[in-house]
Structure 1
C-alpha cells in the first residue's frame, strides 16, 4: 500500500468478524473508507484492461454478423457502434479524478449497455439467428462479474438487471417454451457462478487488505516502541540521534541548540521512597520540560534522569540561555507525589544543564552529545542547579558556569 491506513479500530484479524456477511462492507467506517480509496486505485487499472479487452471481443463477435445471410448489417453495426462509443467513454472516464469516488455506477452502465446491445441484435434478427447471440450475452454477464472489477453487490445487481432485460425482451421473440426454460436456466447458472465467484473474490481482497492493515499497524507500533521511551512516552535516545542526523544533513545555514539536562538530587528519591515514586517524579519532570519549550522543539529522554532538548533555529546561545533559565525554574518547583501506599510525598530536585550550539566544524551526533555532556558536567561540578555553555569556536568550555 502506498499509504499507511489508520487501523486503530481493528480488533481482530478474523475477516468475518469485521465485515458484514452479505455486502462485505467493513463494520468500521474508517476502515471501509480507507479500503475504498485503496480499491479505487486497483480498480482504475483493472477496468481499463477489462474495457479494452471487452471492446476487442465485442468487435470480434461481429464476425458472426457477416455469416448471417439476410441480416440487417447496417442496423446491427449501428448497435455495435453505440456500445463501442459507450465503452470508449467509459475508458476515458477511468482517467478522470471523479473515478476515484464514483466508479460502480459507470461500470454497471457499461455492462448493461453491452448486454443491451446484444439483446438489441437478437431482437433485430429474431428466430433461430438470434439464438446464436445468446452465448455472447452469457459472456458479457460473466465479464461484468469476474473481469470488470466491480464490487460484489454492484456486479450482482448488474447481472440480475441484465437477466431482467433479457426476459422482458422475450415477449418480442418467438421462442419455444423448452428453449426459454433452457436459456433462463443458463442465465440463472451464470448469475449463480458469477455471483459466488465475485463474492469470494471480493472477500479475499478485503481479507488481504485487512491483514495488511494489521501488519502495518503492528510494524508502526514496533517502530514507535523503538523510538519512544516507555516510561515518559518521550522520544528516546535513538530518536534523538536520528533527529540530530537529519538536522546535520539539512541546510547548514540553520543553527540549533542542544540542552543536556541531568536531574540533581534524584537518586535520594529512589532510595528513600522507592522506584515507583521515582518513576512518577520522572514523568512529572518530563512533562515540565515539554511544557517549557516550543511545540516544534524536541525533548528526549536519554535514560535514567538525563534528558536532551533540541531547540530549532536558534542563531546564537541567547535563546538557549533563556530556555535554560525557564527549565531550571520549572524543574526546581516542589514535587507532590502520591505513593502507591496512598501517602503524600513531597520532594525537590534541581538540574544541571549543558548548552551546545550546532552545527559546527566537523560536527557529528557523537561530538554534539559529548560536548553538551561535558558542559553539563562542568555545571554540575560548579555546584549544580545551573548551566554551562560550550563554545565550539574555542573548542573548550565557557569559563563561567551560571547557577539558577
Structure 2
C-alpha cells in the first residue's frame, strides 16, 4: 500500500461517527493524500471567501454612513487570518497539517460575523444571519475541513451566535428564528459533509484493498511458494539490473548456480513432503551464508541461485561458495519439529560466474555458472568451480 497505509492483509475499519480509521497508518495516509488533493481546493475556497467577505464590507460602507470602526477592524482581521491560511497552502506542512489553518479560517469567518453583528445596530445586524449560514455551508462543503472538525467549528459559531446575540438584542423572536435557521443549515450541511467524507474514505479503502490484492498477486508471481525465496522470474530481473549496475559503477558481482547432491533419494525414500521440508531447510541455510544485500533464489526443483553484488574482494565469491557447500553438506533432519527424525546428508555442486569481467549479460552469467556447476557434478559433486570465459576452471571438492 502506498504511503503510510495499513499493513497488508489487515482490514481497514472506519469509526461510524467520527469517520476516522482505526489503523494509524491508514489514517495518516488518507490525511496526506487529502492534503495533496485539497491544496488547490483550499486556495480557491479561501480566495473566494476573502473576496466575498471584503465585498460585503464594502457594501456596508456603501449603504450606511455610520459603520463602526471596530466592525471594519474586525472584518480586516478576519481577512488577514484568511490570507495567512492561504499562504500556508504553499508550504510543505500543509499536506500533513492542513486541517488547522482551514479550521482557523472558518472559525475566524464565523466568529468575526458574530462579532460584527454584536457591534452593528440591531436593525442593520440582522442581515448578517444569512451571511453566517453561508459560512456554515462553506465550512462543511467548500474549505475541505473533515466532517468532525467542521462540525466542531460550526457548533462553536452557533453557540457564539446564540450566547452573544440573545442577550444583546431586544427582538428575541428574530434572534430565535435566525438561530433555528442557522441550526437547520448546520444539520443539512453536516449531513451532506458526512456523506461526502464517508464516500471519500470508502473509495480510499477500496483503493487500498485493490493495491493490496495487486501486491499479493505480484508476490505470488515472483516468489517461490515452497521456500518463500525469489523465483526464477524475479531472479532474472535482479540479475539484469545487477549486471547493468556493475558496468555503470565499475564494481564486480557473481552468480552462484547451486544444485543439491543426492536429493532424489530423499524424495524416493522419504516422500515428496519430506523433500519439500528439506528444500525449505536448505533455503534457510543459504540465506545464512550470504549478506542481507545478496539474493538467494530457488531456480527450480533442487536448484538454487545466489546473486552477489559489490563483492568485497577478488576471492569473495569462492569464499561464499565454500560456505555454501559446507552448510548444505551438514546433516539435515527430515522433520525439524521431531527430535527423533532421521537425518539425511546431501551436499551441493556450485558453479561460479563473475560479471562483468567474465560475463557481460544476465544470460551469459546463468550459462557460465550452469556450465561450472555441471563440471563439479562430473567430478563427484560437493564442491565448486569458477567459469573462466570458455570453460570451467579447476574444481574444488570439499568432501
So what's the TM-score if we normalise by structure 2?
Answer: 0.92
Q: Is the Cα–Cα contact under 8 Å of residues 146 and 198 in structure 1 kept in the other structure?
A: yes
In 1, Cα distance between equivalents of 2:268 and 2:136? 78
Q: Is the Cα–Cα contact under 8 Å of residues 65 and 71 in structure 1 kept in the other structure?
A: no
In 2, Cα distance between equivalents of 1:165 and 1:294? 65
Counterpart mapping for 1:198-213 below 5 A: 198-213=193-208
Provide the residue aligned with 1:3 in structure 2: 3
Per-residue CA shift, 1:144-201, capped at 9, x if unaligned? 1111111111111111111111112224543534422321221111110111111112
**3-state DSSP class of the match of 1:262?**
strand
Aligned equivalent of 2:77, options 75, 82, 86: 82
Deviates more, 1:302-311 or 1:30-39: 30-39
Judged with a 3 Å threshold, the aligned counterparts in structure 2 of structure 1 residues 315 and 154 are, in CA distance, closer, same or farther, namely: closer
Provide the residue aligned with 1:285 in structure 2: 282
In 2, Cα distance between equivalents of 1:359 and 1:153? 60
Deviates more, 1:110-119 or 1:203-212: 110-119
**3-state DSSP class of the match of 1:62?**
helix
Q: Is the Cα–Cα contact under 8 Å of residues 257 and 358 in structure 1 kept in the other structure?
A: yes
Counterpart check, 1:366 vs 2:363: yes
Q: Is the Cα–Cα contact under 8 Å of residues 235 and 301 in structure 1 kept in the other structure?
A: yes
Aligned equivalent of 1:259, options 253, 256, 278: 256
Provide the residue aligned with 1:38 in structure 2: 33
Judged with a 3 Å threshold, the aligned counterparts in structure 2 of structure 1 residues 263 and 300 are, in CA distance, closer, same or farther, namely: same
Deviation at 1:91, TM superposition (A): 1.6
Counterpart check, 1:402 vs 2:396: yes
Q: Is the Cα–Cα contact under 8 Å of residues 258 and 309 in structure 1 kept in the other structure?
A: yes
Judged with a 3 Å threshold, the aligned counterparts in structure 2 of structure 1 residues 288 and 101 are, in CA distance, closer, same or farther, namely: same
Aligned equivalent of 1:192, options 172, 184, 187: 187
**3-state DSSP class of the match of 2:334?**
strand
Deviation at 1:2, TM superposition (A): 5.9
In 1, Cα distance between equivalents of 2:30 and 2:297? 36
Q: Is the Cα–Cα contact under 8 Å of residues 254 and 315 in structure 1 kept in the other structure?
A: no
Counterpart check, 1:353 vs 2:347: no
Judged with a 3 Å threshold, the aligned counterparts in structure 2 of structure 1 residues 362 and 283 are, in CA distance, closer, same or farther, namely: closer
In 2, Cα distance between equivalents of 1:136 and 1:71? 20
**Structure 2 unaligned blocks of 5 or more:** none
Deviation at 1:120, TM superposition (A): 2.9
So what's the TM-score if we normalise by structure 1?
Answer: 0.90
**Structure 1 unaligned blocks of 5 or more:** 13-17
Counterpart check, 1:310 vs 2:304: no
Per-residue CA shift, 1:108-157, capped at 9, x if unaligned? 22212212222233233323322222211111111111111111111111
Deviation at 1:390, TM superposition (A): 0.5
Deviation at 1:351, TM superposition (A): 1.1
Deviation at 1:284, TM superposition (A): 0.8
In 1, Cα distance between equivalents of 2:378 and 2:212? 47
In 1, Cα distance between equivalents of 2:308 and 2:64? 87
In 2, Cα distance between equivalents of 1:69 and 1:311? 83
Provide the residue aligned with 1:121 in structure 2: 116
Judged with a 3 Å threshold, the aligned counterparts in structure 2 of structure 1 residues 325 and 397 are, in CA distance, closer, same or farther, namely: same
In 1, Cα distance between equivalents of 2:254 and 2:24? 45
Counterpart check, 1:297 vs 2:277: no
**3-state DSSP class of the match of 1:356?**
strand
**3-state DSSP class of the match of 1:368?**
helix
Q: Is the Cα–Cα contact under 8 Å of residues 5 and 25 in structure 2 kept in the other structure?
A: no
**3-state DSSP class of the match of 2:360?**
coil
Aligned equivalent of 1:29, options 24, 32, 39: 24
Q: Is the Cα–Cα contact under 8 Å of residues 6 and 24 in structure 2 kept in the other structure?
A: no
Provide the residue aligned with 1:72 in structure 2: 67
Q: Is the Cα–Cα contact under 8 Å of residues 236 and 302 in structure 1 kept in the other structure?
A: yes
Counterpart check, 1:234 vs 2:229: yes
Counterpart check, 1:268 vs 2:276: no
Counterpart check, 1:47 vs 2:42: yes
Provide the residue aligned with 2:211 in structure 1: 216
Deviation at 1:98, TM superposition (A): 4.4
Per-residue CA shift, 1:358-378, capped at 9, x if unaligned? 014772211110111111111
In 1, Cα distance between equivalents of 2:233 and 2:22? 38
Judged with a 3 Å threshold, the aligned counterparts in structure 2 of structure 1 residues 237 and 317 are, in CA distance, closer, same or farther, namely: farther
